[in-house]
Amino acid sequence: MANHSYPRMNAVRLQGIVFCAVAVITVGFSVLLAPMNPRHELVLVALLVVLLGVPHGALDPIFAQSLQRIQGRARWIGFVVLYLLLAALAVALWWLMPTLFLIGFLLLSVLHFSGDPAPGAGFAARLLYGIAVIALPAALHATELFRLFSMLVGSPAALHVTAGLQLIAWPSVLALALLVLRDARRDRLAALEMAAVGLLALMATPLLGFAVFFCGMHSARHILRTQKYASVTPQRLFLVAVTPMLAVLAMAGAGWALLPDSPPDERLLQFVFVALAALTVPHMLLVERVRFTGWKHSV
């Protein structure tokens, strides 16, 4: 059987180089220019996440068909219902137990993002990579992180979570720096990607840094791997993603109407990140099964 583990290295390397360049430019703008208007930044981040980040999750039918052997309308309807039910449970958790929701979302994100590094990265390196995305913003931007978390889950929960991230932020910076130095001779691009992710999370504002990482690294790399996994053209990937994306946009409109009445900035932040967390749960249940088998088709 053909090996479908990862896409051609030239495509992955090009994507990694482009991400590193964008990350450095973003950090430069963040350091040298005055901060963006918070509302403008939030709108920009929302557009980036919806247009460039979420579409990688719209490819989940490829994994569902491969893993579950779904055929026929009835089984597809059952898959969609289960997918939406899992997403709805995540939203219910945010509504009923916001602290648990936020901690769970951050831990799931660490695990999910740890799949981004190229083959050959060890468990500790992957774990540190995932932690860096989530924890490093607390090193220099704890006040802004607390403000964002407060809009998501309220001040008491935000205070505890931010304090916890602050405890591990600087040790994570040191560990990531040592990892980059160790790996620089073995795989320069992999080390450069690690450094770019860390620098972006540390220096850029939390929202913008996350959006650039999520769209430029996580989503882009997932799309490349999915293309190789399914052995299809980019045009075919686009066709697969169209219907789920239209459905997500339709549900997003309904979700916006159902959100609690709140200030516009808070409402938009809740809309983007609660929806992202909700979709992450069923998405991970599919994708992580593939990732831990080396991105090989089930037999």
Burial of 290 (0-12, 13-18, 19+ CB in 10 A): buried
* Residue stretches of the chain with pLDDT short of 70: 1-9, 68, 252, 254-259, 294-299
Which pLDDT score is estimated for 8? 47
Domain span holding position 179: 9-291
- Report if pTM > 0.85: yes
Structural domain includes residue 263: yes
pLDDT of res. 21: 97
In angstroms, the Cα distances linking 223 to 53, 69, 107, 166, 206 are 10, 21, 23, 32, 24
Q: How far apart are CA 121 and CA 124, in angstroms?
A: 8
Residue 230 maps to a domain: yes
Which DSSP string corresponds to the chain? ----SS--HHHHHHHHHHHHHHHHHHHHHHHHSPPPPHHHHHHHHHHHIIIIIGGGGGGHHHHHHHHH---SHHHHHHHHHHHHHHHHHHHHHHHH-HHHHHHHHHHHHHHHHTT-SPTT--HHHHHHHHHHHHHTHHHH-HHHHHHHHHHHH-HHHHHHHHHHHHHHHHHHHHHHHHHHHHHTTT-HHHHHHHHHHHHHHHHS-HHHHHHHHIIIIIIHHHHHHHHHHHT--HHHHHHHHHHHHHHHHHHHHHHHHHSPP--HHHHHHHHHHHHHHHHHHHHHHHHHHHHTTTS----
Place of tokens 């996994």: 229
pLDDT tens per residue across span 81-138: 999 999 999 999 999 999 999 999 999 999 999 999 987 788 889 999 999 999 999 9
Tell me whether residue 296 is in a domain.
Answer: no
Instruction: Please give the helix or strand (H or E) that residue 205 lies within, else none.
Output: none
Please state the φ and ψ torsions of residue 263, each to the nearest 5 degrees: -55, 150
**In a domain? residue 225:** yes
In a domain, 248, yes or no: yes
Domain count, the chain: 1
Q: Is the residue at 189 inside a domain?
A: yes
Evaluate whether residue 74 is within a structural domain.
yes
